[in-house]
Amino acid sequence: MAKVTKIQAQKRKGRYNVFLDGKYAFPVAEQTLIDFRLMNGVEVTDEQIKEIQDSENINKAYGDALNYLSYQLRTKKEIKDYLYKKEYHRDAVDEVISRLEKLHYLDDAAYAKSFISNQLRTTSNGPKVIEQKMAQKGVPNNIIQDSVVEIDYDTLLENATEFAKKQVRKQHRASFKQMVTKLRSSLYQKGFDNEVIEETIKNLELEPDEDEELEKLRKLVSKVQHRYDKPAKLINYLMTKGYKFDEIKKVLGSEE
């Protein structure tokens, strides 16, 4: 049994140092003083001291979690990882998670909805990439799947189309065939499915310009022709770049 002999306010508002039997014992928050009715002259057992310290540890973890949440929404996994990194024990972490969920400060379904909305508004990511990012954040798979199916198709198509237009401009030096191939690949890598990809390409109404294709081909031939000692090798290389055999023969014939 020990007796509280002094309760000293810290410089930090709402924090106090507790002295037992004339010696510093542990720090507590004001709420802990109230919860355990700590004041001068009160006697506490070793069991009560441990209970006070455990409660204080939980309250401290809770404060850290709230501070972490104040910057942006977090998943349950992110909060757990953050608290474990700060070396709080499992019981404290579980209690903090429970408190946050009861107050609706922590809700993975709400997080998923907000995350998807932000991704669609600020990025060109499609559903598959968004799914991957949510999984990395620790959103449960069932919540991910339920949330992703609610994404508006027209919004996806609009985002995919805007992204595709930028890719077309970047590929202005490529052959028409190669440009379309890279466009499909880029859309797939951004997480769009085949339905959205094909609809996007269809909406762009892309058509090859024969004169433009030949001019691109001439420039390419002029740039790489010196690398090949045999015409067959050059033709093969040009075909890998998406140019047709007839176009290649036409340009090579004019170069002779």
| CATH of the domain spanning 108-151 | 1.10.10.10
* Separation CA 106–CA 73 (nearest Å): 8
pLDDT at 256 over 70: no
CB-CB contact of 54 with 27 (8 Å): no
Q: Is 20 helix (H, G, I), strand (E, B) or coil?
A: strand
* Fold held by 1-44: Arc Repressor Mutant, subunit A (1.10.10)
Amino acid 2: pLDDT: 92
Topology alike, domains 1-44 and 108-151 = yes
- Kindly report, residue by residue over 88-142, the tens digit of the pLDDT: 999 999 999 999 999 999 999 999 999 999 999 999 999 999 999 999 999 999 9
pLDDT at 255 over 80: no
Query: Domain limits of the chain?
Result: 1-44, 47-106, 108-151, 152-207, 210-255
Mean pLDDT of the chain: 93
CB-CB contact of 128 with 192 (8 Å): yes
DSSP 173: T
> Quick one: the chain helix, strand, coil %, rounded to 5?
65, 10, 25
| CATH of the domain spanning 47-106 | 1.10.10.10
Amino acid 229: pLDDT: 83
pLDDT at 254 over 70: no
Amino acid 250: pLDDT: 86
| CATH of the domain spanning 152-207 | 1.10.10.10
Residue 41 C-alpha from the chain's centroid? 53
CB-CB contact of 5 with 19 (8 Å): yes
pLDDT at 6 over 80: yes
- Kindly report, residue by residue over 167-215, the tens digit of the pLDDT: 999 988 899 999 999 999 999 999 999 999 999 999 999 998 888 988 8
Please report, as a single letter, which amino acid is at residue 51.
E
pLDDT over 90, % of the chain: 76
- Kindly report, residue by residue over 37-94, the tens digit of the pLDDT: 999 999 999 999 999 999 889 988 999 999 999 999 999 999 999 999 999 999 999 9
CA distance between the termini of the chain: 105
Residue 205 C-alpha from the chain's centroid? 33
Amino acid 169: pLDDT: 92
